[in-house]
Amino acid sequence: MISYNFFSMALMLGTLLPVTGFVIILLLSFLEREVNILEIENKRVSLEHELQQSQFMQLNQQIQPHFLFNTLNAITSLGRLGRLEDSVKAVEDLSLFLRYNYMEKEPLVTFEKELQHTENYLSIQKTRFGEKLQTVTRVDSKASDTLLPPYTLQTLVENAFKHGLDKKTGGKYLEISLHRQGNWASLIVIDNGPELRMEADRPSGVGLKNLRKRLEITFDMRTELTIQRKEEMTEARIVWPYTPEVKL
């Protein structure tokens, strides 16, 4: 005969076990849902990050409208004055400049490509300002094969015009130089524009803010962007990890 105690125990177990099982199953599915939500959340964050990155890229692609209209004006001038060769050259420069802007870009480009793009821009500016504009480019051969985010040089040069050279009467001077110190590459753009009006005038500009952010996103190491006044000139300098192109 089974004892009364044993019977009541078996009865309890018989009712409790299915109930706890049921509860556990419920909890499990709930946990699973929670994990799923976390995963989706994670994906959303990384997508947002990517979107932000591509927005940063695009922001910098915008061509300044007054540059475009001034260029078109210079081209019509050349045409009206009968300088056929010069006007064709100016249209070519503008076309190459636009082509680079509308090209799909990798997060990193070669310095050579970036410099070519800026040279197209400078060639157009020389058509406008003639001999008043002098430019010098110096490239350290130990650094010339480095990669950098697209529009890095162009942003610095456009900035030098917008805040410096456009406000300069008489001769305009611009110097571009690329250097390397060990594992670090640095790019320096110097212009002889007038004194900064306010410290906040330049480094807080959208273009530079955007460039700083892009450098941070692209490299997980230390990067620098500084602007300072040196011997009657304005010097913009960026430093980033020297990243040579891997040739396969």
Partner 1 sequence: MKLLVVDDEPLELEQLTHMIKQKWPIWEIHCAEETSQALKLSREQKFVLAFIDIHLPGISGLELIETLKRENPNLSFVITTAYQNFAYAQKSIKLGVVDYIVKPIIASELDEAIKKFIERSGYSLSKTIVIEQVLEVIGRDFSQKISLESLAETVHVSPTYLSKKFSEEMELSIPSYIMKYRIEKAKSLLLKHPDYSMALIADVVGFHSQNYFNSIFKKYEGLTPSKYKELKSGRYD
Q: For binding to partner 1 (CB under 8 A), which residues are involved?
A: 66, 69-70, 72-78, 80-83, 85-86, 126-132, 166-170
CB 230 within 8 A of CB 189: no
Least distance CB 184 / partner 1 (angstroms): 36
Least distance CB 200 / partner 1 (angstroms): 21
Least distance CB 124 / partner 1 (angstroms): 11
129's CB contacts (< 8 A; 6+ apart) are 172
Closer by beta carbon to partner 1, 147 or else 174? 174
Name the helix (H) or strand (E) containing 230: strand 224-230
Closer by beta carbon to partner 1, 75 or else 143? 75
Least distance CB 117 / partner 1 (angstroms): 20
List Cα–Cα distances, 189 to 18, 49, 160, 194, in angstroms. 76, 30, 8, 15
CB 154 within 8 A of CB 183: no
Closer by beta carbon to partner 1, 83 or else 142? 83
Sign, CA dihedral 58-64-65-69, equals negative
Least distance CB 192 / partner 1 (angstroms): 12
Closer by beta carbon to partner 1, 53 or else 77? 77
Reported residue count of the chain is 248
Read off the tokens for 218.
Answer: 């692209």
178's CB contacts (< 8 A; 6+ apart) are 111, 138, 139, 140, 143, 144, 146, 185, 186, 187, 188
Reported in sequence order, the residue ranges of 50-194 that DSSP labels E, i.e. its strands, are 109-110, 133-139, 147-148, 172-181, 184-191
Closer by beta carbon to partner 1, 74 or else 174? 74
Least distance CB 74 / partner 1 (angstroms): 6
Closer by beta carbon to partner 1, 71 or else 223? 71
